[in-house]
Structure 1
């Protein structure tokens, strides 16, 4: 059995038959801090009018010229926020940690802290749309994949509380899976059109399809 880390003397967990466990508070707090830093870096990369921009019309013209960067910021902010919500929803049911879960969480955070860079790269003036887009979409897809694998490791190690809500967990995992699928599907689209980002609007459709597949699978098993 995988070794449980983060134990504290005298903190026995009833669900583990008296084994000493500690909740994954430090991992959650650390993840929250990293996400807060990533969001801050996203905001710091936003372009602001420079010394040569004058008057209301000049500022408005500057903002219109950099509209793509502001939209990219909103997309990345939304994705990071969804990741944070998913992490909170899933890890509040954790009652301990194993090494694989910590490693997976660190890989997930690596993708999160790369998002300010890939966001800036996506909107840079470099004439390499496919490379810029694919790196951005791959970053988003890998972040979701690592979070899914991290939670899978937590579940496989039997470290979920008995009070864990299967409805909340299934709904959250479906959202994350839909994000991974949507960003992955947008990568080949970018090879044929510069409007590949519009494929991200299919996220609700992908989520609905995944829920339908899961429901039919449950009916078949029943």
Structure 2
């Protein structure tokens, strides 16, 4: 009895192009609610200053989500820059990642057009956390399947630590947003601590690795 044939990994060219297209569409979708608001403002003979004042929250949520998606895309580009082949499981990890990107314009529109409540913060920041979780899953998969590319061990380690730091900070921001609703989104400023948090986690992991006992080597007698 023969084993079932394993799926052959495929090259990353179409995969990367598809990801780029999905991200571009998601970033474009962010602007559509603002375009509708401009049309409504024009129908109501609203001045530019009145429009900017009335829709300031919508403009801020657009700018924040646009920046976050751009940051996620740049991180994804760095993560898969030296990956030459993609397997089925890795593809599904990235499909989950893309789902969070495509979904983000929905909670963004909720922030800009609806009254703020704790569940809204859970939906928005929870989406950001899931984006980081799927990115971390990609690093862990690449760490176990080094044959898929030439990504260095150091790159994988630093990438995983960076995602773990982001998950921690997003989780803290979510707790602040829920506790301080409706003014809790300022907790997202915790992301400015990403670099120091990553460096701290890196030192902790190095210290743990250095403190771990070396495996015993059996010698023949």
Same fold (TM over 0.5): yes
Say which of 46, 55, 59 aligns to 1:70: 59
Shift of the alpha carbon at 1:167?
Answer: 5.1
Structure-1 separation of matches of 2:100 and 2:77 = 17
Residues 131, 83 of structure 1: alpha-carbon distance in 2 compared, 3 angstrom cutoff: same
Residues 174, 69 of structure 1: alpha-carbon distance in 2 compared, 3 angstrom cutoff: farther
Q: Is 1:189 the equivalent of 2:176?
A: yes
Shift of the alpha carbon at 1:166?
Answer: 4.8
Q: 2:167 maps to which residue?
A: 180
- Secondary structure (helix, strand or coil) at the match of 1:123 reads helix
Shift of the alpha carbon at 1:187?
Answer: 2.1
What RMSD over aligned residues (CA atoms) do the two structures have, in Å? Answer: 2.2
Q: 1:211 maps to which residue?
A: 199
Say which of 5, 8, 29 aligns to 2:8: 5
Q: Is 1:26 the equivalent of 2:8?
A: no
TM-score (norm 1): 0.81
Structure-2 separation of matches of 1:85 and 1:63 = 30
Structure-2 separation of matches of 1:141 and 1:92 = 23
Structure-1 separation of matches of 2:57 and 2:164 = 27
Q: Is 1:122 the equivalent of 2:97?
A: no
Which 5+ residue runs of structure 2 have no aligned equivalent? 211-221
Instruction: Spell out the pairing of 1:19-98 with structure 2 (5 A cutoff).
Output: 23-46=11-34, 47-48=37-38, 49-54=41-46, 58-98=47-87
Per-residue displacement from partner, 1:112-156 (whole Å, max 9, x unpaired)?
000111100122234x51111110011111011112112321331
Residues 212, 72 of structure 1: alpha-carbon distance in 2 compared, 3 angstrom cutoff: same
Residues 220, 191 of structure 1: alpha-carbon distance in 2 compared, 3 angstrom cutoff: closer
Larger Rg: 2
TM-score (norm 2): 0.81
- Secondary structure (helix, strand or coil) at the match of 1:159 reads helix
Residues 63, 79 of structure 1: alpha-carbon distance in 2 compared, 3 angstrom cutoff: same
Say which of 149, 152, 172 aligns to 2:137: 149
Residues 158, 66 of structure 1: alpha-carbon distance in 2 compared, 3 angstrom cutoff: same
Which 5+ residue runs of structure 1 have no aligned equivalent? 8-22
**Which structure 1 residue ranges, 4+ long, deviate > 6 Å from structure 2?**
none
Give the aligned length: 201
CA contact (8 A) 2:174 2:187 kept: no
